[in-house]
Structures are given as structure tokens and as C-alpha cells.
């Protein structure tokens, strides 16, 4: 059996945008994550907050709009501290099984965020920075301009970025190509692109070429389903990584074989599913934690060890790997 399996992509907390608009999922706490994950044979979890934050006006969120004027002024200041207190203070026995990341907005109030993050790191260590720019409509390219301080902070703390990626033409905020441009311009900082770059072969090949980039396969099964249903959030056929997308286990195996040192396994729990009614259009993309782990377990033991342990540790470059053995 491979040694400790680590899930690199998990959300904790409450997403008010999803909750107020009737979307699912919308919440997960630390005990629920660890209980289900242990049941599926996972030992450790990278965790970070949900995406919507309290700088957005709650009444506007209820109308599926993002507008300033919320309860907080610094993006993710409340959410990061709330999650870290859950990890370090409320459930320290379970928190020892996690590697927390802090969430950030690459475009809004960068100086204020950096000040809060630096102070928070002194109180509650975190081991990476997470960005989901699509949902909050923030330009990931701001990391090279007004948000460059976040790159400096990552270098200062020696922590990587984990960034939501997209290839959908209408998504102007999180294009995989833009993230890779940021990475290429910042070789001293490490980056992981989420969701297998939506199976975009040119992006995956560029990840393989850049020494400071990796990709995770979070929400793998519903991305495979997106291919078989012809949905627009995955790469078009002429750019798509070649595999039999009717069989998610075969797709993961092909990715692991093609990119053995770059693929990192993650579930995206609780967002391995997405169910919503969008303007009368009902969307149901459903998976389970167990089904995501089943794809991992279909790999050889050596491949499991690589994608669910070794590659992540290379990305994290932990100064103290005893963090993973504490009970």
C-alpha cells in the first residue's frame, strides 16, 4: 500500500453566494471533511475557505450579483481567520491532520490583504495561498501589476499558489494561459493550476515545461462528465488531452502516465458536485468523495504515491515535514 495519501484541494466554511441563491454545495466543516475522508482512506487534507466573502453586499449576493459594501472591508480577512481558528483552536486534534492555505483576491485591496495575511501567518501558520478569481470576478493578471505584492509575499513565506483555472472563452478572469504567463514571469514562486487545466493539452504541456508549475485534478469526475455531455467548461476537442472520458479512472491514469511528476490529486470537496438552477436552466453534476478516491485507487501504488503524496510535497517544500506525522 502507498504511504499517507493527501488530498490537496478542500474547502471549509460557508459560501453565502451559493446558499442565498439555492446552489449546492454551500458549506463544509472540518469534522465532516475528516470523517468522510478517513472513511475513504485519506490521511491528510489541504484546506482553505469557501470563495464568496463578506466584503460583498449580502443583499446583492442574494440577487446573484457581486457588489461592494459588505460587512467586511478586507477580502478574506474574516474567512481566513475563521477557518484557521477552526483548525488550530476549535478542533486542534483534527486540525493537525490539515495543511491550511489562505484565500486571497488578486485585485481588490491588495495592500490591506497582504498586511492582514502577514500578521495572520505569524499567529496561525499556513502553507499556501489559494485564488478562485472566476467567481469573485477578479483578474488573475493583476498578480503582475497591482497585486504583485502577493507574489512577493509567497516568495517571502516560501509558499505556493493553488489557482482555479479555466479555458471557457467567456471567463476573462482565470484563464489557464494567463496563470501560466504569471508563473513564467515569476520563476522563483511555485504554482499549481486546479482542475487539470480543464483538460487543455497545450496548457498541460506548458505546465510540464515550466519548472515551477504543477496541476491538480480536483473535481475530476464532473469534468469528465462535462466532456461527455459537451459542456463548455472543458477544453474543446481540438485542444483536449486525448483519453476515454467515459471512464474517469482511465482519464486519471492517462494523466498520471503523461505527467507523472506534475499531477497532484485532489477532490475539491464539497465541490466535487455542483447542482443549481440558473435562470430556469437546471444543472446537476454530481459526484462523491468516495467516487473521487476510487479513481485514485485505480492507479498503481507507485502512481498513487506520486500524485497523492510526493508531488504535493515537492510543491509545498515544507520546512518541517514532521507536520505530516503528528497525531
> What is the domain partition of the chain in residue ranges?
6-319
List Cβ neighbours of 53 (8 Å cut-off, separation of 6 or more). Answer: 70, 72, 75, 76, 78, 79, 103, 105, 136
SS3 at position 162 = strand
What pTM was estimated for this model as a whole?
Answer: 0.96
Instruction: Render the burial of 225-242: b for 16+ CB within 10 Å, e for the rest.
Output: bbbeeeeebbbeeebbbe
pLDDT in tens, the chain (327 residues): 457 999 999 999 999 999 999 999 999 999 999 999 999 999 999 999 999 999 999 999 999 999 999 999 999 999 999 999 999 999 999 999 999 999 999 999 999 999 999 999 999 999 999 999 999 999 999 999 999 999 999 999 999 999 999 999 999 999 999 999 999 999 999 999 999 999 999 999 999 999 999 999 999 999 999 999 999 999 999 999 999 999 999 999 999 999 999 999 999 999 999 999 888 889 999 999 999 999 999 999 999 999 999 999 999 999 887 788 776
Cis ω before 270 (30° cut-off from 0) = yes
Residue 2: the pLDDT is 59
- Give me the CATH code for the 6-319 domain, please: 3.20.20.140
Assess contact for 84 and 130: CB atoms under 8 A: no
Residue 230: the pLDDT is 94
Amino acid at each position: 500500500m502507498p504511504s499517507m495519501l493527501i488530498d490537496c484541494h478542500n474547502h471549509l466554511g460557508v459560501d453565502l453566494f451559493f446558499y442565498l441563491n439555492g446552489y449546492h454545495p454551500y458549506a463544509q466543516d472540518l469534522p465532516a471533511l475528516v470523517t468522510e475522508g478517513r472513511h475513504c482512506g485519506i490521511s491528510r487534507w489541504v484546506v482553505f475557505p469557501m470563495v464568496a466573502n463578506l466584503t460583498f453586499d449580502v443583499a446583492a449576493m442574494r440577487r446573484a450579483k457581486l457588489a461592494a459594501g459588505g460587512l467586511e472591508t478586507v477580502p478574506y480577512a474574516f474567512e481566513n481567520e475563521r477557518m484557521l481558528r477552526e483548525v488550530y483552536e476549535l478542533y486542534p486534534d483534527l486540525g493537525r491532520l490539515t495543511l491550511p492555505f489562505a484565500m486571497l483576491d488578486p485585485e481588490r485591496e491588495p495592500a490591506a490583504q497582504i498586511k492582514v495575511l502577514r500578521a495572520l501567518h505569524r499567529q496561525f501558520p499556513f502553507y499556501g495561498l489559494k485564488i478562485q478569481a472566476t467567481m469573485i470576478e477578479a483578474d488573475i493578471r493583476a498578480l503582475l501589476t497591482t497585486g504583485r505584492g502577493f507574489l512577493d509575499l509567497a516568495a517571502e513565506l516560501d509558499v505556493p499558489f493553488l489557482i482555479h483555472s479555466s479555458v471557457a472563452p467567456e471567463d476573462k478572469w482565470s484563464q489557464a494561459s494567463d496563470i501560466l504567463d504569471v508563473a513564467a514571469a515569476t520563476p522563483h514562486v511555485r504554482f499549481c493550476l486546479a482542475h487539470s487545466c480543464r483538460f487543455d493539452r497545450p496548457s498541460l504541456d506548458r505546465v510540464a515545461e515550466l519548472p515551477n508549475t504543477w496541476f491538480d485534478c480536483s473535481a475530476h469526475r464532473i469534468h469528465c462528465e462535462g466532456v461527455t455531455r459537451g459542456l463548455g467548461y472543458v477544453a474543446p476537442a481540438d485542444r483536449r488531452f486525448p483519453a476515454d472520458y467515459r471512464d474517469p479512472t482511465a482519464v486519471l491514469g492517462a494523466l498520471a502516465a503523461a505527467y507523472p511528476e506534475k499531477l497532484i490529486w485532489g477532490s475539491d470537496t464539497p465541490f466535487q458536485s455542483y447542482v443549481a438552477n440558473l435562470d430556469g436552466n437546471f444543472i446537476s453534476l454530481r459526484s462523491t468523495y468516495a467516487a473521487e478516491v476510487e479513481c485514485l485507487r485505480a492507479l498503481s501504488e507507485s502512481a498513487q504515491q506520486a500524485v497523492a503524496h510526493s508531488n504535493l510535497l515537492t510543491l509545498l517544500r515544507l520546512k518541517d515535514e514532521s507536520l505530516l506525522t503528528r497525531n
